[in-house]
Chains A and B, each alone.
Chain A
Amino acid sequence: MMKSATLRRANVRKFLPLGATVSLFILAFLAGVVAFTAMRDGQSFFNLFTTTPFLLILVVGEGLVIISGGIDLSVGGVVALTTVASAALLTDGWDPWLVIPLMLVMGLLFGAVMGLFITYLKVQPFIATLAGMWLARGLCYVISDSEIRIYDPLYKLLAGTRILIPGLADPATKKGDYITVLVVVAILVLAVGTFLAHYTQFGRTIYAMGGNNGANEQSARLMGLHVDRTKVQVYMISGFCSALAGIAYSIYVGSGHGTHATGMELTVIAAVVIGGMPLTGGEGYLVGGLFGVLITALIQSLIQFNGQLSSWWTSIVIGALMLVFIGVQSLLSTMNARQLTARRLGTTASGSPASGKRRAILRDRRFLIGAAVVVAVFVAAQAIGMQSGTNGPNGASASCQLKPNRQDRAAELMKGGAVIAYERNGGAGCVDELYAIYPDGRIVADNGTQTVEKKASPPEVDAMLASINDLGWFTDNMYSTSHTPCAQCFSYFTSVSYKGQEKTIQAVDGGTDAPAKYWLMTGKLSTLVPAFPAPQ
């Protein structure tokens, strides 16, 4: 009787970090639904998945590495390398069915080499995977300096295919809530990862290896487990997941470039930690990583829906969340250690049930304090956002100081009869291009130093407007995102006028901040508008 109660308490404690993650996600989501009308649309929930499939895949690989007591910093680099290598091969006319397996093998080999360094040369995982990250990023630029766009039909198909949610969508009109193929792949990867972790010898070995500052590795070795082999395997799996995530990312953004996925390793590690897997290893559940990713995506979309907060708040909130989760975990482990000592000293029997309950209450209170801190940080963020809101969204002006944005000019063009006016500002070359499309098919482009004209047919313009409308341009699913662009990124301001409706949406690339459909739209527009002659 007593024993089972102790066991149950131990079990509860084991699942507590995961439970905390899940409940935090649910609470934050409910708070968002209450605060923002746009969140009440079911798709806003599914968008948390559709904008992050690559993160989900990465979290599985990184989670396994972290459970085994290591760390993999190379994931972002391998993602970028995969996007560039696959884009280059596809542009050369390779078959995508050949390119995809090739990339996966590349990921496996990349992971294997790092694993061998770590296992047999006894290199710190941090250093070995750091070298891997630099090597992968450097190789990207050896392959191509500039962004390579992907026009492969299979990639387009995978990017565009929607899987409608039964019961929440109408199969006849194909409208309603959906997920993408990539999300299904990501969930499958998570399922396979969970199976590996809990139902195989490999999984038991990685749990045995991790934790206790590397001392457990020695114990695992003494138990006769294949520590060395497993270590190489775990980095191979992580490399494989990175390559798979790289393919997912290149499908998602439709291009390959060395700056893709910059800093993604940090996002992934943060998601793993928030998901209840401590970096010491040996503990946690991969499914927690799923919720870690969802929480980061949710924070990002809450900040977007707020509209006045810049996206750097995302990093502050994620940092604060990590602090709370690490705090809770270290408290739990201290308590575990204390209880273990107490049991060894034989004091558990004397005052067990009452003190246990009291301790549980105490633990709950500590957790509540942690949650309160997170909420407080978030509320403070909101409050500051309201105050600084008078300055307007930050993203527009910060990208390039060389040339100002010309939204006023775009508005004039719209008044002058243009049906689409869009400005593309920023990039490594700090360009400022303004395109205006008129209903008669005339397209005028101006980059401040020169003007280019092109004549399209009126039906082409009509078709473009109709397809933009079909993307949901005038619905709440398309919204402006305010975000400070990175050095190489572009910010877009697009105004569209169609059947008496007019709407302007701003977005910044270089991440997952904007709705995916926005990029479909800019992709379509870029095929229609004239190109500027290359500078001399």
Chain B
Amino acid sequence: MSAARSASRLDRMRGSRLFVPIFALAAILLLDLVFVPGFFKLEMKDGHLYGSLVDILRNSVPTVVLALGMTLVIATGGVDLSVGAVMAIAASVACILIDPRIVGVNLQGNITAVVGDPTYSFMPIPVVILVSLLAAIVCGLWNGLLVAFFRIQPMVATLILMIAGRGIAQLLTNSTKIIIFNDAFAYIGNGFIVLPFSLAIVAALFAGAWLLTRRTAIGLFVESVGISFRASLYTGINEKLIKLFVYAFCGFCAGIAGLIAVSSIRTSDANQIGLYTELDAILAVVIGGTVLGSGGRFSLLGSVLGALVIQATQTSMYAIGVPASAITAVKAVMVIVVIVLYSRQVQDAGVIISTRLGRRQTAA
């Protein structure tokens, strides 16, 4: 009797969409527990918490932020390839607003601040943040416009900005690497309130996105559009507006990720900021159980866990001693494992095994 109950509990757990990411995360951490001594050690120094676990959380921040936006886009049946380029655009906008002189703009008037002054900013920092996020939202709206109103395939529509976006970022920064000296701006990515400050941003963003999609009808609309935009249209959902919204939200998330990334490394290099992050973000969403391509049901928490799985793998590999350059191969193996875990054949086999197991146990 109790065996049957435990089998059904196993069934329910396996059926949950969070099963794969939680299982993967646990497996990786178990690996660390065995192979990396002191991986779970946490230290307090100057009121900051240090340790590999904190590193994982902190380094996963840009991917988590991107994955939140990407989840909604993928839930509508789309995909946004341009998030990396949008990160670069937002970062470039922020940098030139903080110090336009770096890109060779000659400011009229008598500005006495020298380059390198940690308090100098041409625009107030809140304005800098707002304007860069606005730029990112405009990029998202552009994608949404192409997808929703011009009915261009999402992969193609966002590929345009993916290719052109980096060029635009280079154009903004006059293709120089910009170093940020402003301390207030650097706090976004480097600040600590026991835990890294950027985690607070992520928490706020996650809470906002969760409330928006689970406490209002928007989440339902997004899933409905993903399952069938035509049926949604007939039931009176403005599917174009929903799509426009999710792409704009994805752009907004990319903007936040860009600001965090540029602030934590204090250098804006339009060629490097956010390079290949779109792939990480898509992978995080896929690991989290939201289906790429067909859309429909989505899980924000799953995507966050997916991003953590990616980062935990990377950090663990570094800790084990895998060279940084071979990390992409490890990632590939991870993708393959996830593919196999999610494939219908394996899931079907799982169902067969667990029913047989259950039957045998009830018989016993």
B175 and A138 within 8 A (CB):
no
Beyond A316-B167, A318-B164, 18 additional contacts (C-beta under 8 Å) are A124-B292, A127-B283, A135-B332, A142-B329, A258-B325, A266-B159, A273-B159, A310-B170, A310-B175, A315-B166, A319-B160, A320-B164, A326-B157, A327-B152, A394-B174, A394-B175, A398-B177, A484-B170
A138 and B167 within 8 A (CB):
no
A315 and B164 within 8 A (CB):
yes
Residue A401 CB within 8 A of the other chain: yes
Query: How many angstroms from the CA of A142 to the CA of B325 in the assembled complex?
Result: 8
Residue A465 CB within 8 A of the other chain: no
A145 and B176 within 8 A (CB):
no
Residue A47 CB within 8 A of the other chain: no
Which A109-151 residues have C-beta < 8 A from chain B?
Answer: 117, 120-124, 126-128, 130-135, 137-139, 141-142, 145
Residue B279 CB within 8 A of the other chain: yes
1/0 contact trace for B175-210 toward A, CB 8 Å? 111010000000000000000000000000000000
Query: How many angstroms from the CA of A74 to the CA of B63 in the assembled complex?
Result: 22
Q: Please pick, from B161, B163, B271, B332, the residue contacting A132 in the complex, using a CB distance under 8 A.
A: B332
Residue B233 CB within 8 A of the other chain: no
B271 and A266 within 8 A (CB):
no
Query: How many angstroms from the CA of A280 to the CA of B151 in the assembled complex?
Result: 12
Q: Please pick, from B163, B179, B282, B332, the residue contacting A138 in the complex, using a CB distance under 8 A.
A: B332
B345 and A121 within 8 A (CB):
yes
Q: Nearest Cβ in chain B — how far from A303, in angstroms?
A: 11
Query: How many angstroms from the CA of A137 to the CA of B174 in the assembled complex?
Result: 30
B336 and A131 within 8 A (CB):
yes
B150 and A141 within 8 A (CB):
no
A139 and B329 within 8 A (CB):
yes
Residue A269 CB within 8 A of the other chain: yes
List 16 contacting pairs A-B, 8 Å CB cutoff, sorted by A.
A124-B293, A127-B339, A131-B332, A131-B339, A132-B332, A138-B332, A141-B329, A266-B159, A273-B156, A310-B170, A312-B175, A313-B171, A322-B160, A327-B150, A330-B151, A484-B271
Query: How many angstroms from the CA of A273 to the CA of B333 in the assembled complex?
Result: 30
Measured between beta carbons, the chain B residues less than 8 angstroms from A313 are 167, 171
Chain B residue nearest to A128 (CB atoms) is: B339
Known: A127-B339, A394-B175. A326 touches B152 (CB 8 A): yes
For the side of the interface on B, what is the size category? 35 or more
Measured between beta carbons, the chain B residues less than 8 angstroms from A11 are none
Chain A residue nearest to B169 (CB atoms) is: A312
Query: How many angstroms from the CA of A388 to the CA of B179 in the assembled complex?
Result: 21
Measured between beta carbons, the chain B residues less than 8 angstroms from A374 are none
Chain B residue nearest to A135 (CB atoms) is: B332
Known: A123-B343, A127-B292, A131-B335. A138 touches B104 (CB 8 A): no
Residues of B bordering A, CB below 8 Å = 79, 104, 150-153, 155-157, 159-168, 170-171, 174-177, 179, 269, 271-272, 279, 282-283, 286, 292-293, 323, 325-333, 335-336, 339-340, 343-345
A330 and B150 within 8 A (CB):
yes
1/0 contact trace for A421-448 toward B, CB 8 Å? 0000000000000000000000000000
Residue A375 CB within 8 A of the other chain: no
A126 and B155 within 8 A (CB):
yes
A326 and B156 within 8 A (CB):
yes
Q: Nearest Cβ in chain A — how far from B259, in angstroms?
A: 22
Residue A487 CB within 8 A of the other chain: yes
Measured between beta carbons, the chain A residues less than 8 angstroms from B170 are 310, 312, 484
Residue A279 CB within 8 A of the other chain: yes
Residue A486 CB within 8 A of the other chain: yes
Residue A371 CB within 8 A of the other chain: no
Query: How many angstroms from the CA of A127 to the CA of B175 in the assembled complex?
Result: 32
A330 and B152 within 8 A (CB):
yes
B163 and A71 within 8 A (CB):
no
Q: Nearest Cβ in chain B — how far from A126, in angstroms?
A: 7
Residues of A bordering B, CB below 8 Å = 71, 117, 120-124, 126-128, 130-135, 137-139, 141-142, 145, 258, 266, 269-270, 273, 278-280, 310, 312-316, 318-320, 322-323, 326-327, 330, 334, 384, 388, 391, 394, 397-398, 401, 484, 486-487
B333 and A279 within 8 A (CB):
no
Measured between beta carbons, the chain A residues less than 8 angstroms from B326 are 138, 141-142
Q: Nearest Cβ in chain B — how far from A490, in angstroms?
A: 15
Query: How many angstroms from the CA of A135 to the CA of B160 in the assembled complex?
Result: 26
**6 shortest A-B CB distances, which residue pairs?**
A138-B329, A319-B164, A135-B332, A141-B325, A134-B332, A315-B167
Q: Nearest Cβ in chain B — how far from A247, in angstroms?
A: 22
Measured between beta carbons, the chain A residues less than 8 angstroms from B292 are 124, 126-127
Chain A residue nearest to B344 (CB atoms) is: A122
Q: Nearest Cβ in chain A — how far from B248, in angstroms?
A: 19
Measured between beta carbons, the chain B residues less than 8 angstroms from A273 are 156, 159
Q: Nearest Cβ in chain B — how far from A84, in angstroms?
A: 11
Q: Please pick, from A133, A138, A279, A316, the residue contacting B171 in the complex, using a CB distance under 8 A.
A: A316
Measured between beta carbons, the chain B residues less than 8 angstroms from A133 are 332
Known: A121-B345, A127-B286, A486-B271. A138 touches B174 (CB 8 A): no
Q: Nearest Cβ in chain A — how far from B294, in angstroms?
A: 9
Measured between beta carbons, the chain A residues less than 8 angstroms from B175 are 310, 312, 394, 398, 484
